[in-house]
Amino acid sequence: MKINTVTQSASLAILCLLLPFLSGCNSSTSSLTDVNAKQKRVLSYEDEPGYEAAFGKPNDVPDTGENLTGYQQEIIQAQTQHLRKVEVLVNAQVCRLLPTDNNGLRHQKFLIRLTNGTTVLVANDITMGQEVPCNEGDILEIKGEYIWTRRGGVLHWTHHSDTNEHPGGWIRLGSQTYQ
Q: What is the pLDDT of residues 152-176, one digit of tens each?
A: 999 999 998 877 888 889 999 999 9
- Pairing type for strands 119-125 and 154-156 reads parallel
C-alpha 63/C-alpha 130 separation (Å) is 28
Q: Which residues pair with 90 in a beta bridge?
A: 142
Q: What is the value of pTM for the model shown?
A: 0.66
pLDDT tens digit string along 67-92? 565 689 999 999 999 999 999 999 99
Tens of pLDDT, residues 9-68? 444 443 343 333 333 333 334 444 455 555 555 555 555 555 455 544 433 334 444 556
- Whether 124 contacts 108, CB under 8 Å: yes
Strands 107-113 and 119-125: antiparallel
Q: Give the count of alpha carbons within 13 A of 102, CB side only.
A: 1
Which residues, in sequence order, are CB contacts of 70 under 8 Å at separation 6+? none
Assign a CATH topology to domain 6-178.
Answer: OB fold (Dihydrolipoamide Acetyltransferase, E2P) (2.40.50)
Q: Which residues of 118-151 are buried (b: 16+ CB within 10 A; e: fewer)?
A: bbbbbbbbbebbbebebeeebbbebbbbbbbbeb
d(CA 101, CA 2): 30
Residues 149, 46 contacting (CB under 8 angstroms) = yes
Alpha carbons 111 and 145: distance in angstroms, whole number? 15
